[in-house]
Amino acid sequence: MIKKIMVIEDEHILLRALNVELLSQGFEVLSAKDGETGLRLIREEGPELVLLDLILPKLHGFEVLKALKSDEKTKDIPVIILSNLGQDSDIKKAQELGAAGYFVKASTDLSELSKIINKILA
């Protein structure tokens, strides 16, 4: 069964790059460019994993994460943060809110990210 991953990223080019990378690994990819749309699509589609940016229009990534974790229907969906924000306070906050992983864009190797995604979904 093909697993569904939701990517919420406001940078259009990066969103496409992530789509290409995940599609090539055999995942079905849903995408959204703002937090509000992303949250709605997660509730509608029920993906197996969410790849979430933090600085998002309409609804901040932390708000999306909080909303997902407070909803019975979506609280078990693993969420991986992929953000430009790399301060300890951001990473700590993400962990407290229940993120399954945290990647800083500037130092992320997508192959490492893929390994984590595969490990979580295994």
Q: Which segments within the chain are labelled E, that is strand?
A: 4-8, 28-32, 49-52, 79-83, 101-104
Contact residue for another protein among 26, 44, 109, 122 (CB under 8 A) = 109
* Between 12 and 40, CB nearer to another protein: 12
Best CA proximity match to 62, nearest among 43, 83, 41: 83
* Shortest distance, position 108 Cβ to another protein, whole Å: 6
The vertex-118 CA angle with 22 and 60, nearest 5°, equals: 65
* Shortest distance, position 70 Cβ to another protein, whole Å: 27
The reply to whether 58 sits near another protein by the rule CB under 8 A is no
The reply to whether 73 sits near another protein by the rule CB under 8 A is no
Contact residue for another protein among 108, 115, 119, 121 (CB under 8 A) = 108
82 alpha carbon, distance to own chain's centre:
7
